[in-house]
Amino acid sequence: MTISPRQPLVLQQVQLLEGPSQDPRRTDVRLDQGCITAIGESCVAEAQAEGVPVLPASELLLAPALVDPHSFLRDPQSGVAETLVSLERSAIAAGYGAVALLPEAIRWRDTAEQLQPAKLQSDLQVLWWGSFSRGGEGRELAPHADQLAAGAIGLADGDELPSLALLERGLSLAEMGQAPVLLAARDSRLAQDGFVREGVDALRAGWPMDPPTSESIPLQNLLSLAERHPQCRLQLMNLSTEAAVDQLRQLGHGQRPEATACWWHLLADTATLDPVAEGWRMRPPLGTPADRRALKQALAEGLIQAVAVHHQALDPEEQLLPLDQRKPGVAGHRFVLPSLWHELVVAEGWSIQALWQVLCFAPAALLNLPPPRLQLGSQHWLLFDPAKRWSAAADPEAPLAANQPYGRLVLTGQVIAAGLNPGLWRWGSAGDPQF
């Protein structure tokens, strides 16, 4: 019998995570056309009376869709590396219900006219970050109030810190109100043209090294700005070093700005990544094992609140360039939940609630979105099978990007259904990569 969420069905004894500060509980849930239509013990009896399929789901997790606080989409309409259509499809299939896009694009998004609502085929929330400076060049303020009035969720800039004089001016004007200001703690002048973080393994391999001071010094400047402008909501984008975590730890709870970390920095480091594997070219650069441990601990402690996908797609031609000539970044929303489930839940004993805190609830709070919750009528849900094996290369929902670090692997753990795409249904035997 062919089954899909387009028809009514009941998940029997599924693990249900309903919202923040709630532990998963086993219960029965009825789905219809991608919506949750009933929750509780009566679902099975009613389904049997109506001839609705009842699926044993005790090994599955039904939870709110994930939230990506920052990623890139350079050419939404005609991009070779990624388009809005391909990003929408792949993000939903990966379990995401909201994706916030940074202003960097073929034409930098720094005016109200460039922040028009996206035309989508689903109810995926695509949100736009406005730009702090014109063209992301860090020399002249962009029109903050106009961008926010046009629907920008906040202001961001390029992959390094704008000039301190411009930051002081923009934060003093405070046109952003309580909208977040997302900034990268990076100074390229201190990076010494390196593209991996300074450490023993990088030294042995002969990689050009980027010292931790390229992050710690601009971070100290940002922390000073946050102290001088408490009325502004500064957020730190993609912290990546043990030194940065130590700087945050020295501050009191109310003094620390909110912060994100990129998913790939939690999984790979200069000691463990194969020298020929995808994922070496990052900004901020790939760190040492100590950096990776510190980031995971910072997430566990709440020093860093959220995990970002920071999806940055390259086309096949760009991906073939030598590492020192290609754009930095990795792509792939679809790898985030399976890989972090095994890294944090399986290997390190995190609870499901703790993982959802950094992948869903905290990112939503950073973007000023309502706390994601599952209730009757909800479509922003995902169904995750932690034991499902699947081939990344055979995935029809894959993004267009060529720079996907796990793109040729068989992985364990997959989103098998999502409310935002009722046609997506990857139900199959656990461990069977055919589905």
**Span 60-96, pLDDT tens digits:** 999 999 999 999 999 998 899 999 999 999 999 999 9
Q: Are residues 339 and 295 in the same domain?
A: yes
Of the three residues 366, 401, 416, the one that is the final residue of a domain is 366
Residue 433 maps to a domain:
no
Query: Residue 289 domain-assigned?
Result: yes
Whether pLDDT at 320 is above 60: yes
Is the pLDDT reported for residue 3 higher than 80? no
What is the predicted pLDDT for the residue at 118?
Answer: 82
Residue type (1 letter), 319: Q
Give the range among 2-16, 108-122, 247-261 with minimum mean pLDDT.
2-16
CB proximity list for 65: less than 8 A, separation 6 or greater: 95, 96, 97, 98, 360, 372, 380, 381, 382, 418, 419, 420
In a domain, 389, yes or no: yes
CA gap 354, 345 in Å, rounded: 9
Note the pLDDT tens digit of each residue in 220-258.
999 999 999 999 999 999 999 999 999 999 998 888 999
Query: Span 408-421, mean pLDDT?
Result: 96
Arithmetic mean of pLDDT, 103-128: 93
pLDDT score for 4? 60
Q: Domain for residue 147, yes or no?
A: yes
206 pLDDT tier (thresholds 50, 70, 90): confident
Question: Looking at the structure, do residues 137 and 279 belong to the same domain, yes or no?
Answer: yes
pLDDT of residue 2: 59
Q: Is the pLDDT of residue 429 over 70?
A: no
Which structural domain, as residue segments, surrounds residue 44?
9-63+375-425
Structurally, how many domains does the chain consist of? 2
User: Is the pLDDT assigned to residue 310 strictly greater than 50?
Assistant: yes
- Do 386 and 268 lie in one domain? The reply is no
Domain co-membership, 87 together with 232: yes
Find how far residue 346's CA is from the centre of its chain.
20
Domain end among 325, 342, 366: 366
Strand partners, 125: 98
Asked if omega into 284 is within 30° of 0 (cis), the reply is: yes
The rounded mean pLDDT for the chain is 94
* % of the chain exceeding 90 in pLDDT: 87
- Specify if 229 maps to a domain: yes
Residue 106 lies in a domain: yes
Asked if residue 48 and residue 100 are part of one domain, the reply reads no
pLDDT tens-digit readout, 293-303:
999 999 999 99
Residues 154 and 40 in one domain: no
Q: Of 346, 366, 386, at which residue does a domain stop? A: 366
Using pLDDT thresholds of 50, 70 and 90, give the confidence band for residue 430: very low
